[in-house]
Amino acid sequence: MKLQWELPLSAEGIDTELADGTPVKIRPISADDGPALDASFKRMSPRSRYLRFFTIRDELGAVMLENFTDIDHTLHRAWVVIDPATAGDAPGEEQGIGIAVARLIETSTPGVAEASLAVIDEYQQRGVGRLLLDLLTSTASIAGFEKLRFETLWENRGMRRLLGKLEAEHNKDLSDPTVLIYDLPIETAEDDTVGALYEILRWIAASQDDPPGSKVPEHND
């Protein structure tokens, strides 16, 4: 997979592809994306919705849809991934099915942003999460954040795998032992591409099938 990020992404976004060659578009979410987000949410299984929102939820509702789409792109940034080959007449899917969303929200702790990801079920385990994690870390880097914080359910094997590869530190949420809080340190970018490249290289270095969180051994021979 070849990634060429020019960050921050323009409103038109970028065209790239998944590891299996599926072309996708990634662009910042827009205030008109309510129907698209609603359609994507409805395509997620109850299990995936639960893993994302920690509660059983049948729909997002008008207020949440507005809060999630009509954002300032500074304190609250979000991106959608679209599969343009699936464009159709269904509401919100005229440009293609919205297959994933990533979100970055500044917290009241200086230098820390809260991040989240959601990929619809039929596109899971095809590298979308990894792609979006790269976008999140690269954006956080050029935006000057020092840490990305992910709250995830302990049972969320996908997120633990994804974050474990990046050696994020995690602690249990003391108020809820089913929740893990991962803090991912962010490297400062010297230019718009350094963060993304850094993460790709680090990912490659870590992809030796080590247990999540373990270090790649050094060879001194």
Ligand X SMILES: CC(C)(COP(=O)(O)OP(=O)(O)OC[C@H]1O[C@@H](n2cnc3c(N)ncnc32)[C@H](O)[C@@H]1OP(=O)(O)O)[C@@H](O)C(=O)NCCC(=O)NCCS
Q: Applying CB under 6 A, which residues contact ligand X?
A: 48, 51-52, 116-119, 124-130, 150, 152, 156-159, 161-162
| Residue whose beta carbon is closest to ligand X | 129
For ligand X, the closer of residues 188 and 208 by Cβ is: 208
Distance of closest approach, residue 124 Cβ to ligand X, in angstroms: 4
Q: Least distance (Å) from ligand X to the CB of residue 220? A: 27
Helices (H), the chain: 34-43, 46-53, 62-69, 128-143, 157-164, 194-206
161 or 172, CB closer to ligand X? 161
**Residue 30 CB, nearest approach to ligand X (Å):** 21
Quote the least distance from Cβ 152 to ligand X, whole Å.
4
Question: Which residue in the block uniquely carries the two structure tokens 């032992």?
Answer: 177
206, 166 Cβ separation under 8 angstroms: yes
* ∠ Cα 110 4 26 (to 5°): 70
Nearer to ligand X, 94 or 185 (CB): 185
Min dist. Cβ of residue 129 to ligand X (A):
2
Q: Which residue has the tokens 């230098």?
A: 111
Alpha carbon distance 144, 147 (integer Å): 9
C-beta closer to ligand X: residue 52 or 77: 52
Query: Cα separation of 125 and 110, whole Å?
Result: 33
Of the candidates 113, 131, 146, 148, the residue with the CA atom closest to the CA atom of residue 196: 131
From the CB of 37, what's the least distance to ligand X, in Å?
14
Residue among 42, 114, 49, 124 nearest 76 (CA): 114
Q: Which CB atom, from 141 or from 152, has the smaller least distance to ligand X? A: 152
Pick between residue 26 and residue 159 the one whose CB is nearest to ligand X.
159
8 Å CB contact between 108 and 127: no
Residues in Cβ contact with 15 at an 8 Å cutoff, skipping those fewer than 6 apart: 23, 24, 25
